[in-house]
Structure 1
Amino acid sequence: MMTMLEALPYRHVLTLPTEPSAVRMARETAERALVEWGIGLRHPAVDPALLILSELVTNSVRHAAVLSPTVTVIYAAGADCLAFAVHDRHPCRPQLYGAVTGTDTGPGVGGLGTVMELVLALGGTAVVRADADGRGKSIWITLPL
């Protein structure tokens, strides 16, 4: 992918309570942002991106709420790239690629397997970035447009 995340001209940040309604709110906010940024909801990357986003926020709600009262979603886009991150304050950092290969069997792995299959099928990337203090993480997804 040619675009560097720092150079993406469109950005939006949303912080929500780590509760089930966060999934719907994160998805609806993504749809509004994409339309505002001129990315049509019928673009072939949009439905998989929304599914990936929903799964990652769901994982934060299910597995991180006990240590993370909020979940933050960062949305970004450019002419050839869509990126988003889901951040919570739970220290567990899942092995994203292990979810596809079957080498990781921790909580939330079934959904992460689906996430990673979609990311890879679309030619995207996924990375887990730990917070500086080690008590939280962000899962970044980047997809070509």
Structure 2
Amino acid sequence: MIAGLESLRQRHVLTLPTVPAAVRVARETAEQVLAEWHIGAHHPTVGPALLILAELVTNSVRHAAPLSTQLTVVYAARRDRLVVAVHDRHPYLPTLYGARVGSDGGGLATVMELTLGLGGTAGVVPDEDGKGKTVRVALPL
């Protein structure tokens, strides 16, 4: 389990190969999990959360695949918060705050614009061994 999400009542963990199809599977799984948790597709956080998730998984597929054959996605929620986290075993720690459109952080700039626009938070947590990381986004429900 990705550290720090144990306190959230509802959790779902999905491990996928680091290939392009992972983006679609992660998004479809998120839609199913959120529906099971009675977080409807029309909730104002769901659309942005799905886009954020797709961007994070896409980043792992594009950048981590040479060193990380798989990635792990954790969906977690409680009454007032939804968290999506993506873990891979590539050591690079991307900059979230200050990411700019048109630079290498284009997708992350979108992630941060959506996250901050909803009053959420984001962070990158390195693995203890320094050989991987988790990018985590928390959004209010």
Give the TM-score range, shorter chain.
over 0.9
Q: CA RMSD in A?
A: 1.3
| Superimposed CA distance per residue, residues 40-88 of structure 1 (whole angstroms, 9 cap, x where no aligned partner) | 1110000000000000000000000000000100110011100010000
Kindly indicate which of the two structures has a greater share of residues assigned to helix.
Answer: 1
Structure 1 residues 128-139: aligned runs within 5 Å: 128-139=124-135
Deviation at 1:8, TM superposition (A): 1.3
* Matching residue of 2:119: 123
TM-score normalised by length of structure 1: 0.91
* Matching residue of 1:144: 140
Deviation at 1:122, TM superposition (A): 0.3
Task: For 2:58 and 2:29, locate their aligned partners in 1 and report how far apart those are by CA, in whole Å.
Answer: 15
SS at match of 1:95: coil
SS at match of 1:97: coil
Ranges of 4+ aligned residues in structure 1 off by more than 4 Å: none
Deviation at 1:7, TM superposition (A): 2.4
Matched to 2:122, the amino acid is A
SS at match of 1:127: strand
SS at match of 2:27: helix
Aligned residues: 137
Task: For 1:20 and 1:69, locate their aligned partners in 2 and report how far apart those are by CA, in whole Å.
Answer: 12
Residue segments in structure 1 that go unaligned for 5+ positions in a row: none
Deviation at 1:6, TM superposition (A): 3.4
Task: For 1:24 and 1:53, locate their aligned partners in 2 and report how far apart those are by CA, in whole Å.
Answer: 10
* Matching residue of 2:82: 82
Identity %: 66
TM-score normalised by length of structure 2: 0.93
Structure 1 residues 86-101: aligned runs within 5 Å: 86-100=86-100
Are 2:55 and 1:59 equivalent residues in the alignment? no
Residue segments in structure 2 that go unaligned for 5+ positions in a row: none
* Matching residue of 1:29: 29
Are 2:42 and 1:42 equivalent residues in the alignment? yes
Deviation at 1:5, TM superposition (A): 4.2
